[in-house]
């Protein structure tokens, strides 16, 4: 999914404008093939044609395209004629996906405008332009995605291309006999229409999410009850839940109504907790708008609030009607939130999906840079891997414990920082400690441990303050995953082979923590 996107189409169809908007939407860099040729030839394209002929120009075009094919994460405006070469199309297919922006000749002429048409000699011969247009249609048809743009403006065309590239991905997740549909797409809000039909819906979100994404949901939900809360972990409390209960009571929300929690892990955890406990439970939906929420909090059936520094101490297991993974929202995330989600996704890969772990290791720089198609692939692999574990062990009686890799020390680190350190960064620190413990015990080969260190390091702040082993141990003694007072760690034999242990000593932790600090 991190391969290049090549835009093809006749001159005037809007490749450069749509390409710019598409690159912005998908967190990619736009490259113009024609501009690359101009820089290399050091002269405008008409001069290249006039002095060296079309064959020489096409050779330059082929060579520059081959160079671009060695890069990743680009949106490439290929120029009107690049696709006529089968060799060029093979290069594009092998290194990415071809998107044909299709429009009639009149649309192309109109979008070029009178001045552009008058300065291009080819457009002075209507028959010649028509013949050229028709001659190229077979080559343009050799594409991965065709989008008709005659009746779309540039922004609409870019959104349509993004939606087409990402597609719709759905699968049912069974949680203790109750089915939950997990849906991911660029236009996730539209998927709600049938589920919420003829039902009153309470939309619970935070103020920041409401500003960024709230406008896409009310048209589907109708004019019901909107509750906005302050963003951040401090909202995940019994006090906040009580405030929401009172607003729902005042609006006469009944057991036959529904609740939609929109946002990251804080909102989906809190919303699920409120829905599960309000009038002994109402139906609810979760729409995740953060990478961390998509890969972790939204799928799992857990709902909880915090008690002071003790995370998720009051909660229950719940079964949402539907989980939406809002891929369009991924494009709005700052790097700090991408770090949060990638830490959890990498954790899931290490314990349950080696291919996901490999994707994170190989493309971490692009993913941290916000490349949305790659992030979407990480989301979809993560959520399926986690769903596979959760479906087998809903109430965390056995296998589900493996998803706590990195969380034992990670939660202690997060609590020690009073939640000023993000959950994902805390888990990243916990993964370093768990990998170091695994290597110390001879479970994990050195090269695999080094690979984990290398992948996790960019996820951590340079000046991270580590919770001392003795202070972290005191916090870990209150971990809800403990059994008979024993602190449980998830370690690795190798990627994809986790093991749960309860015999780590404070001294072992101190040694592993020293190694983590050194890394």
Q: What strand order describes the sheet that includes 74-77? A: 29-32, 74-77, 4-8, 96-102, 145-148
| Share of the chain residues as helix, strand and coil, in percent rounded to the nearest 5 | 55, 20, 25
Active site residue 213: no
Q: Say which of 302, 311, 381, 384 is annotated catalytic.
A: 302
Active site residue 471: no
Q: Say which of 197, 280, 446, 484 is annotated catalytic.
A: 280
Q: Say which of 407, 417, 457, 471 is annotated catalytic.
A: 407
Q: Say which of 15, 28, 400, 488 is annotated catalytic.
A: 400
Q: Is the dihedral of CA 384, 315, 396, 336 positive or negative?
A: positive
DSSP-assigned states of every residue in 414-445: HHHTTT-S-HHHHHHHHHHHHHHHHHHTT-S-
Active site residue 280: yes
Active site residue 481: no
The rounded distance, in Å, linking the Cα atoms of 507 and 46 is 73
The rounded distance, in Å, linking the Cα atoms of 268 and 303 is 8
Q: Say which of 61, 100, 404, 414 is annotated catalytic.
A: 404
Q: Say which of 344, 371, 380, 381 is annotated catalytic.
A: 344
**What is the enclosing helix (H) or strand (E) of 304?**
strand 302-307
18 in Cβ contact with 161 (< 8 Å)? yes
Q: Say which of 64, 340, 396, 414 is annotated catalytic.
A: 396
167 in Cβ contact with 185 (< 8 Å)? yes
What do you get for the CA distance between the two ends of the chain, in Å?
31
75 in Cβ contact with 19 (< 8 Å)? yes
Active site residue 321: no
Active site residue 518: no
Helix (H, G, I), strand (E, B) or coil at 454: helix
The rounded distance, in Å, linking the Cα atoms of 122 and 352 is 58
| Those residues with Cβ within 8 angstroms of residue 218's Cβ, 6 or more apart along the chain or in another chain | 203, 226
Active site residue 386: yes
Strands 145-148 and 201-206: unpaired
Q: Is 115 exposed, middle or buried, given 0-12, 13-18 or 19+ CB atoms closer than 10 A?
A: exposed
- φ/ψ region of 433 (left if φ > 0, alpha if ψ in -120 to 50, else beta) reads alpha
Active site residue 396: yes
Give the gyration radius of the chain's Cα atoms. Answer: 26
Active site residue 411: yes
Q: Is 270 exposed, middle or buried, given 0-12, 13-18 or 19+ CB atoms closer than 10 A?
A: buried
3-state secondary structure 57-84: HHHHHHHHHHHHCCCCCEEEECCCCHHH
Q: Say which of 36, 411, 414, 488 is annotated catalytic.
A: 411
Residue closest to 294 by CA, chosen among 260, 259, 340: 340
Q: Say which of 100, 213, 311, 423 is annotated catalytic.
A: 423
Active site residue 183: no
The rounded distance, in Å, linking the Cα atoms of 370 and 338 is 7
Backbone angles phi, psi at 292, to 5 degrees: -65, -45
| Those residues with Cβ within 8 angstroms of residue 473's Cβ, 6 or more apart along the chain or in another chain | 412, 487, 506, 509
Please give the C-alpha separations between residue 426 and each of 100, 292, 341, 461, 465, in angstroms, as whole numbers.
44, 13, 11, 10, 11
- Active-site positions? 280, 302, 344, 386, 396, 400, 404, 407, 411, 423
């Amino acid at each position: 999914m991190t391969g290049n996107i090549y835009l093809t189409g006749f001159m005037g169809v809007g490749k450069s404008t749509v390409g710019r908007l598409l690159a912005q939407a998908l967190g990619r860099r736009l490259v113009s093939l024609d501009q690359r040729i101009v820089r290399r030839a050091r002269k405008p394209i008409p001069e290249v044609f006039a002095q060296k002929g079309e064959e020489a120009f096409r050779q330059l075009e082929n060579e520059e395209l081959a160079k671009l094919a060695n890069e990743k994460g680009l949106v490439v405006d290929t120029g009107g004629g690049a696709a006529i070469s089968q060799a060029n199309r093979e290069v594009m297919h092998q290194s990415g996906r071809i998107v044909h922006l299709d429009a009639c000749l009149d649309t192309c002429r109109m979008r070029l405008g009178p001045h552009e048409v008058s300065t291009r000699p080819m457009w002075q011969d209507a028959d010649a332009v028509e013949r050229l247009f028709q001659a190229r249609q077979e080559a343009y048809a050799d594409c991965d995605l065709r989008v008709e743009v005659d009746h779309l403006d540039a922004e609409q065309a870019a959104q349509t291309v993004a939606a087409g590239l990402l597609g719709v991905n759905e699968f049912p997740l069974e949680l203790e006999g109750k089915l939950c549909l997990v849906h991911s797409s660029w236009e996730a809000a539209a998927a709600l229409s049938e589920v919420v039909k003829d039902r009153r819906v309470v939309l619970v979100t935070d103020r920041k999410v409401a500003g960024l994404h709230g406008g896409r949901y009310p048209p589907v939900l109708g004019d019901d009850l909107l509750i906005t809360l302050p963003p951040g972990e401090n909202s995940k409390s019994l006090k906040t839940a009580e405030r929401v209960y009172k607003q729902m009571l005042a609006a006469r929300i009944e057991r036959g109504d529904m609740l939609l929690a929109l946002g990251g892990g804080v909102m989906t955890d809190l919303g699920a907790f409120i829905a599960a406990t309000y009038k002994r439970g109402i139906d609810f939906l979760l729409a995740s708008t953060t990478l961390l929420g998509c890969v972790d909090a939204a799928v799992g059936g857990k709902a909880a609030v915090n008690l002071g520094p003790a995370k998720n101490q009051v909660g229950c297991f719940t079964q949402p009607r539907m989980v939406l993974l809002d891929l369009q929202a991924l494009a709005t995330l700052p790097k700090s939130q991408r770090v949060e989600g990638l830490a959890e996704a990498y954790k899931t890969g290490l314990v349950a999906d080696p291919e996901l772990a490999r994707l994170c290791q190989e493309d971490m720089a692009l993913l941290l840079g916000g490349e949305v198609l790659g992030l979407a692939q990480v989301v979809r692999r993560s959520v399926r891997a986690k769903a596979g574990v959760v479906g087998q062990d809903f109430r965390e009686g056995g296998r589900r414990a493996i998803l706590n890799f990195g969380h034992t020390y990670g939660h202690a680190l997060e609590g020690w920082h009073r939640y000023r350190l993000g959950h994902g960064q805390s888990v990243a620190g916990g993964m370093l400690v768990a990998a170091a413990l695994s290597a110390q015990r001879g479970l994990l080969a050195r090269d695999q441990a080094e690979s984990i260190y290398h992948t996790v390091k960019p996820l951590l702040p340079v000046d991270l303050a580590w919770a001392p082993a003795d202070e972290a141990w005191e916090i870990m003694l209150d971990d809800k995953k403990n059994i008979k007072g024993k602190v449980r760690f998830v370690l690795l034999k190798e990627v994809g082979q986790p093991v749960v242990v309860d015999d780590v000593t404070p001294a072992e932790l101190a040694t592993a923590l020293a190694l983590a600090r050194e890394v």
